[in-house]
Chains A and B, each alone.
Chain A
Amino acid sequence: MRALTWHGKHDVRVDTVPDPKIVNPRDAIIKITSTAICGSDLHLYDHTIPTMQAGDVLGHEFMGEVVEVGPGNSKLKVGQRVVVPFVIACGQCYFCKQQQFAACDNSNPAETADMSEFLYGYPMTGAFGYSHLTGGYAGGQAEYVRVPYSDIGPIVIPDGIEDDKVLFLSDILPTGWMAADNCEIKPTDTVAVWGCGPVGLFAVQSAFALGAHRVIAIDHYPHRLDLATTMGAEVINFDEVDVREALVEMTGGIGPDACIDAVGMESHGFTADSVMDKVKAAVKLVTDQTHGLRQVIIACRKGGKISIPGVYGGVTDKFPIGALMEKGLSVKSGQTHVQKYMPQLLKLIMDGKLDTTFLISHRLSLEDAPAGYKMFKEQQNEVTKVVLKPGMIRH
């Protein structure tokens, strides 16, 4: 089959690789009809996530048609259309039973689980196409993918709903939703969202859907800020104003009740701390550039809530622990429990209450995936989301 593979920093290629097979009883094979490039794929593209190996198949946002089902899965049927969560979860461990699917204790293979156990104290959960820290599973930017524990993850999509309406159930829609859900929003709340990429924009949408009084979106790409405005958010361009001062003004001196960091580890800006982060990252003293997160913590109101859907992988310094403690902030973070949120979000989409198609700026053939990565990386103002269609004829 054809698949998008990683070969090094800013080097991804479409290669011919072997077809995946059913190897465990609960596996299924999915023929991919739509798959997206995620903002977090850019961390792999930039090689800021360790444990990548040349030849790895990328992609963790995908959907398609079931073409083969293992003998241990009595739920899926050949021919069904499914969206697959990026988190691989067994459904039977203590964590899965608490609906903490992104903490599944079993899906990361025993051999690869060691790395994250050393890094984080306990092993990470398995995920598709996202380095060997999460298991080295092949991703879905391909013609076919093997889905382990396929009786738990994939959600069946009724006929008549096109791919573009439901594809983002695989990651970014539930991720934006959980980011807002983690803010425990009250009707009088003002929620500030750092980063108007796909997750940030879905967090804006979700915060309103969960009852936020006001949402303030922060970015520096005019087109992305426009999209946030369309959804009803007030916006701050961090190139033009001091973010904390603007937030203080806009909230009558109180500060936002909840702050969402939808930026993650490659946060940029031209302040002294972010320049130091870059220098240290270059000499491998720290791995994560966290200017955005520092600003989030400083800008949040006393007793407020911080939600971090943005991806981080390593350590940082100059972390404002004093502000966190003295202001009594609470922090929620983590990879998304996709399986928990999928059914309610599918219903909201089917009821016409949630539309995610506005985000898609480019639809490309799988063969054009390398160009898709390049433009998503380099033209962040115009390129809001790239969807790859393995079945599409190349232009």
Chain B
Amino acid sequence: MTSPISETAHGDAPLYTAKHPDPLAVEGELSPQRGDVLVGRTVTIDRPREELYAFWRDFKNLPRFMRNIRSVTTEDGRRSHWVVEAPAGKTVEWDSAITHDEPGRAISWESLDGASVRNSGRVDFLDSPDGRGTVVRVTLTYDPPAGAVGKLIAKLFQKEPKIQARQDLRRFKQLMETGEVSTAQPPDAAPRA
């Protein structure tokens, strides 16, 4: 499935990027540059936002629900090192730094110079207006690299970044609400012939 960037930006982006005023509007942190792939997804999780924030803020936890991330090691309170699965058993690595941190409310991060895929992300934790827990919004941007090698790496992000974001957020919700990530992975979780 190929979708033009414009469709990606509009199709799955949170409503607050559209022209409609949003009751849960937040002040923008991300300012994607022209050509960036923008992915957004919103989910409501029936847990307090402080708890969700604390789990996410410890970036070592991210591989527990982000499927393509092999590991994140935190170097100090602000910087982290990411190892991400790439096609053909390879990995891509980069350093990232937190650019905005509002305890219990929002976290933004951005890759540092030298990253093979320049990327940034933001997660917002907002009280659900109807008392159903916390509205979690994730917005990610990727800068697709040029060249043949860049193309291969980009495949990882560009193939379906919104699918990745959608599935990662579902796993985050499962883990936070139930304490586990639902699976029917054969053979152990679901035997098959």
- The interface of chain A, by Cβ under 8 A from chain B, is 1, 3, 5, 7, 13, 15, 17-21, 23-26, 53-57, 72, 90-94, 97, 105-114, 117, 123, 126, 135-138, 142, 146, 148-149
Contacts and interface: CB of A to CB of B under 8 A. Distances in A.
Contact of A138 (B179, B180, B190): B190
B166 to A, nearest CB: 7
Contact of B193 (A15, A114, A123): A15
A54 B132 CA distance: 40
Contact of B189 (A97, A107, A114, A146): A146
Contact of A23 (B67, B166, B183, B193): B183
B192 A56 contact: yes
A23 B188 contact: yes
A21 B191 CA distance: 9
A54 B177 CA distance: 33
Contacts of A126: 182, 184
Contacts of A110: 67, 166-168, 170-171, 174, 181-182
Contact of A26 (B133, B173, B177, B179): B179
Given A23-B183, A55-B193, A106 B178 contact: yes
A92 B178 contact: yes
Contact of B188 (A20, A94, A136): A20
Contact of A17 (B67, B163, B185, B191): B191
23 contacts: A5-B192, A5-B193, A23-B185, A23-B188, A24-B182, A24-B189, A25-B179, A26-B179, A57-B193, A94-B133, A97-B46, A105-B173, A106-B182, A109-B183, A109-B184, A110-B171, A113-B167, A114-B167, A117-B166, A126-B182, A126-B184, A138-B191, A146-B189
Contacts of A17: 187, 191-193
Contacts of B178: 26, 90-93, 106, 149
B132 A94 contact: yes
Given A106-B178, A110-B174, 17 more contacts: A1-B191, A3-B191, A7-B193, A17-B191, A24-B182, A26-B180, A53-B192, A57-B191, A72-B180, A106-B173, A108-B182, A110-B167, A112-B184, A113-B167, A113-B170, A114-B166, A138-B190
Contacts of A94: 44, 46, 132-133
Q: Give 10 closest A-B pairs by Cβ, nearest first.
A: A110-B170, A55-B193, A15-B193, A110-B167, A138-B190, A21-B188, A5-B193, A18-B187, A55-B192, A24-B180
Contacts of B173: 93, 105-106
Interface of B: 44, 46, 67, 132-133, 163, 166-168, 170-171, 173-174, 177-193
Contact of B174 (A20, A53, A90, A97): A90
Interface residues of B: mostly helix, strand, loop or mixed?
A: loop
A20 B46 contact: no
Contacts of B67: 110
B47 to A, nearest CB: 9
Interface residues of A: mostly helix, strand, loop or mixed?
A: loop
A188 to B, nearest CB: 38
A4 B109 CA distance: 50
B177 A106 contact: yes
B46 A92 contact: yes
A163 B192 CA distance: 26
B191 to A, nearest CB: 4
B140 to A, nearest CB: 16
A93 B184 CA distance: 19
Contacts of A21: 188-189
B16 to A, nearest CB: 21
Contact of A114 (B46, B163, B183): B163
A95 to B, nearest CB: 10
Contacts of B166: 110, 114, 117
Most chain A beta-carbon contacts within 10 A, residue among B174, B177, B187, B191 = B191
B93 to A, nearest CB: 25
Given A17-B191, A20-B191, A111-B167, A106 B174 contact: yes
Contacts of A142: 191
Contacts of A136: 184, 190
A383 to B, nearest CB: 25
B128 to A, nearest CB: 9
Contacts of B170: 110, 113, 123
A21 B186 CA distance: 10
A20 B189 contact: yes
Contacts of A93: 46, 173, 177-178
Contacts of B183: 23-24, 109
A56 B186 CA distance: 10
B136 to A, nearest CB: 13
Nearest to B187: A18
A135 B184 contact: yes
B177 A90 contact: yes
A1 B187 CA distance: 12
A106 B46 CA distance: 11
Contacts of B167: 110-111, 113-114
B182 A72 contact: no
A137 B191 contact: no
